[in-house]
Amino acid sequence: MKKKWALIPVIALLVFIFQFFRDPDRLVPEEGVVSPADGKVICIELVKAGDVPVIEKKGEKICLEELKDYITEDSYLIAIFMNVIDVHVNRCPIEGTITKIIYVEGTNHMATQLALENERNILVIDGKSRMIVIQIAGKFARRIQCFVQEGDTVEKGERIGRIILGSQVVIILPCTYEVTVEEGDHVKAGESIIALL
């Protein structure tokens, strides 16, 4: 009887691993910009272009130093929090080319709020418009996987990476797009439309 009870933690761990590493196919819509991640939209902010792009949040300025050469027009920032039960594979929001990948070491705070100071991997994607996807590690997610390289051509909805455990993905897109999601909405990577031109 004790042996049966001893199997419960092993079975629970196997179920968790299977659940976490699942990677279902997605029906990618032809129109619009698709979400780069599964999860909950936790913030939508305006990014002001300039010598150094800036976000103003609750009266405090957040300077995006590493993006100063890549954000050349006012943009929207949409942050998506992935909890441990979400699919953690990230997908490309548009068709285009990976023109730059920037890895930045940082802190590992909880990613339930905008966490641009955390460890992050930045993908600059040039297609009909320039979009930036930022994979952000959370407090417990210490491994960001990137499936693409600079110069790669990617399709909309194509897998571009994964983050281990709860984490966050941010997309930055020009203000010429109309954002079609709101804070609190749940989205699916490669399937949910988050903006329209």
Structural domain boundaries of the chain? 25-196
Two tokens, residue 165? 């455990």
CATH topology for the 25-196 domain: Glucose Permease (Domain IIA) (2.70.70)
How far does the chain reach from its first CA to its final CA, in angstroms? 62
* Confidence at 5, pLDDT banded by 50, 70, 90: low
What amino acid positions are annotated as catalytic residues?
A: 167
**pLDDT of res. 102:** 95
Buried b (16+ CB within 10 A) or exposed e, 161-185: bbbbbbbbbbbbbbeebeeebeeeb
Q: pLDDT tens for residues 116-146?
A: 888 899 999 999 999 999 999 877 656 789 9
pTM of the predicted protein model: 0.86
What are φ and ψ of residue 183, in 5° steps?
A: -55, 135
Say how far apart CA 147 and CA 98 lie, in whole Å: 11
* Comparison of pLDDT for 52 and 111, the residue scoring more: 52
What is the average pLDDT score of the chain?
Answer: 86
Q: pLDDT tens for residues 34-93?
A: 999 999 999 999 999 988 898 887 778 888 889 999 999 999 999 999 987 888 899 999
**pLDDT of res. 15:** 54
